[in-house]
Structure 1
Amino acid sequence: MPATQPVSPQRRRAPRNTLNPDRILRAAVGLLDREGAAAFTMRALAEELGVGTMAVYSHFRNKEEITDAVTERLLDTIELPPGGCADPRAELREVCRGVYRLFTEHPSALQLLTVRPLRGDDAIAVIDRMLGLLHRTGLSRSEAAGAHVALMQFTVGAALWTTRRARALSEEGVRDRVRAKLAALPPERYPAVVSLAPELLCAHDDTGGQYERGLDALLDGLLGGVAAAGA
Structure 2
Amino acid sequence: MSVSQPVRPPRRRAPRNSLNPDRILDAAVLLLDRDGPEAFTMRALAEQLGVGTMAVYSYFKGKDEINDAVAQRLLDTIELPPGGSADPGSELREVCRGVYRLFTEHPSALQLLTLRAVRGDDAIIVIDRMLGLLRRTGLAPDEAARAHIVLMQYTVGSALWRIRRERALCEEGARERLRAKLDALPAGRYPALAALAPELMCAQGEGTALYEAGLDAMLRGLLPVR
Regarding TM over 0.5, the answer is yes
Q: CA deviation at 1:88?
A: 0.1
Q: What is the match of residue 79 of structure 1?
A: 79
Q: What is the match of residue 188 of structure 2?
A: 188
| CA separation of 1:67 and 1:48: change in aligned 2, threshold 3 A | same
Q: What is the match of residue 21 of structure 1?
A: 21
| CA separation of 1:5 and 1:26: change in aligned 2, threshold 3 A | closer
Aligned mates of 1:141, 1:36 — CA distance in 2: 37
Kindly report structure 1 stretches of 4+ aligned residues shifted beyond 4 Å: 4-7
| CA separation of 1:195 and 1:45: change in aligned 2, threshold 3 A | same
Q: What is the match of residue 174 of structure 2?
A: 174
Superposed CA offset, 1:48-70 (max 9, x none): 11111111111111211111111
Q: What is the match of residue 55 of structure 1?
A: 55
Q: What is the match of residue 133 of structure 2?
A: 133
The more displaced of 158-167 and 117-126 is: 117-126
Aligned mates of 2:92, 2:119 — CA distance in 1: 21
Q: Contact 2:68 / 2:117 at 8 angstroms: preserved in 1?
A: no
Q: How many residues align?
A: 223
Q: CA deviation at 1:207?
A: 2.0
2:48 aligned partner, one-letter code: E
Please report the RMSD computed on the Cα atoms of aligned residues, expressed in angstroms: 1.7
Q: CA deviation at 1:7?
A: 4.7
Q: What is the match of residue 107 of structure 1?
A: 107
Aligned mates of 1:212, 1:35 — CA distance in 2: 28
SS in 2 for 1:107: coil
Could you list the runs of 5+ residues in structure 1 that have no partner in the other structure? none
SS in 2 for 1:178: helix
Could you list the runs of 5+ residues in structure 2 that have no partner in the other structure? none
Q: CA deviation at 1:97?
A: 0.6
| CA separation of 1:196 and 1:53: change in aligned 2, threshold 3 A | same
Superposed CA offset, 1:134-180 (max 9, x none): 11111122221221111111100000001111111111000000001
TM-score by length of 2: 0.93
Aligned mates of 2:137, 2:173 — CA distance in 1: 48
SS in 2 for 1:146: helix
Superposed CA offset, 1:167-218 (max 9, x none): 1111100000000101111111111110010011111211212111111111
Q: Which has the higher helix share?
A: 1
Matching of residue 208 in structure 1 with residue 208 in structure 2: yes
The more displaced of 168-177 and 109-118 is: 109-118
TM-score by length of 1: 0.91
The more displaced of 106-115 and 190-199 is: 106-115
